[in-house]
Copies of this chain bind each other. A is one copy, B any other.
Amino acid sequence: MKTMSYTEALREALAAEMKRDDCVILLGEDIGRYGGAFGVTRSLLDRFGPQRVINTPISELSFVGAAVGAAMMGMRPVVEIMFMDFITLAMDPIVNMAAKLRYVFGDQARCPLVIRTVAGGGRCYGPTHSQSLEAWFVHTPGLKVVAPSTPADAQGLLISAIRDDNPVIFIEHKMLYNTKGPVPVPACRPVPFGRARRISRGSHITIVSWSWMACQTEIAAAMLREEGIEADAMDMRTLSPLDIEAVVESVKLTGRLLIVQEACRTGGVAAEIAARVFEAAHDYLNAPIRRVAGPDVPLSASPVLENAAMPDAERIVAAAMELVNFR
């Protein structure tokens, strides 16, 4: 194990996969010398050259479309969308092309495409640079959706994403880039999709989250422990596929479920998890399923407002306490 940052872990994964497979190329705005807005691709241009690390014009729609075309021809493009908010410009090739290719064209077609992008608030970047839009992609059959919260998972899941023959929406978080954690050495190792990671074990309440909220959940679990509450906390890690079995199993033991999402409440992934758990474990629930989520408004640039909007460990603790004390 080696301690490194989320950014470094991602960069190592990119470098390792580029070394391993010539078909892996990077495409995106300012990913060359600049290294991308958050520095993830820094140094890769020098190491792999401009044929592999391709700076694009500001043309999200078409460089994503082109990546789909390149993927169809055997390349393995890893595209960076600088902020997830800008993925709004590239929904067509993602949804109408990448997600449907294999299903419609059958065995002849593959679309090994990774779209890396940055979601979430916390940096006061304002309403068009802070959105968490994972729910749209979870609602799009044919895509895989990944949202790691630790350096190790960022690295392992990015490796899996690059090796996957299907389009993957790979969601990073601006608050995570500088976080550090242990990462397996020497070799980069893939982390499989569809398996939640247990943050803490407990029998009083199940808490489920992903991305930056998984870090908040980890803090919350520690705070709850001090209150004598043992939370069975899980980081979903991938949202498509979704490890609903792990959640259901846990809920069967705890009887209580809290789901934490940063995205605005209405229509988020938490609703889907709630619906599925209720379908599968109706009998076991001793309390309503609760969601801690962002409010149904845009995220503001003002630190005070952003802070008030974003779920955090304290809000998770408060909701968990309420739920544990339910009836």
Residues of A within 8 A of B (CB): 61, 85-86, 88-89, 91-92, 94-96, 99-100, 103-104, 127-128, 131, 133, 135-136, 138-139, 141-142, 240, 242, 263-264, 266-272, 274-276, 278-279, 282, 285, 287-291, 295-298
Inter-subunit contact A128/B100 (CB<8 Å)? yes
Inter-subunit contact A141/B100 (CB<8 Å)? no
Chain B: minimal CB distance from A87 (Å): 8
Inter-subunit contact A89/B103 (CB<8 Å)? no
Option from B139, B272, B279 in Cβ contact (under 8 Å) with A290: B279
Could you say which residues of chain B place their CB within 8 Å of the CB of A133?
A: 139
Inter-subunit contact A128/B279 (CB<8 Å)? no
Inter-subunit contact A127/B139 (CB<8 Å)? no
Chain B: minimal CB distance from A156 (Å): 24
Chain B: minimal CB distance from A81 (Å): 12
Q: 29 A-B contacts, Cβ less than 8 Å apart?
A: A85-B96, A88-B91, A88-B92, A89-B92, A96-B127, A100-B298, A103-B127, A103-B298, A104-B127, A133-B139, A135-B135, A136-B139, A139-B267, A139-B268, A141-B266, A141-B297, A141-B298, A142-B297, A240-B266, A267-B271, A270-B275, A271-B271, A271-B272, A271-B276, A278-B288, A279-B289, A282-B285, A282-B287, A282-B288
Chain B: minimal CB distance from A238 (Å): 13
Could you say which residues of chain B place their CB within 8 Å of the CB of A266?
A: 138-139, 141, 240, 242, 272
Inter-subunit contact B92/A298 (CB<8 Å)? no
A288 (CB) vs chain B CBs: closest residue: B282
Inter-subunit contact A296/B127 (CB<8 Å)? no
- In Å, the complex CA distance between A135 and B133 comes to 12
- In Å, the complex CA distance between A138 and B264 comes to 10
- In Å, the complex CA distance between A135 and B134 comes to 12
A131 (CB) vs chain B CBs: closest residue: B95
Inter-subunit contact A298/B104 (CB<8 Å)? yes
Inter-subunit contact B298/A289 (CB<8 Å)? no
- In Å, the complex CA distance between A91 and B89 comes to 6
The 7 closest A-B pairs by CB, nearest first: A139-B267, A88-B91, A282-B288, A88-B92, A274-B275, A271-B275, A271-B271
Inter-subunit contact B289/A275 (CB<8 Å)? yes
Given A88-B92, A288-B282, verify A141-B296 contact (CB < 8 Å). yes
- In Å, the complex CA distance between A167 and B268 comes to 21
A269 (CB) vs chain B CBs: closest residue: B267
- In Å, the complex CA distance between A135 and B267 comes to 7
A279 (CB) vs chain B CBs: closest residue: B288
Could you say which residues of chain B place their CB within 8 Å of the CB of A103?
A: 127, 297-298
- In Å, the complex CA distance between A61 and B60 comes to 12
- In Å, the complex CA distance between A272 and B261 comes to 14
Chain B: minimal CB distance from A124 (Å): 14
Could you say which residues of chain B place their CB within 8 Å of the CB of A139?
A: 133, 135-136, 263-264, 266-268
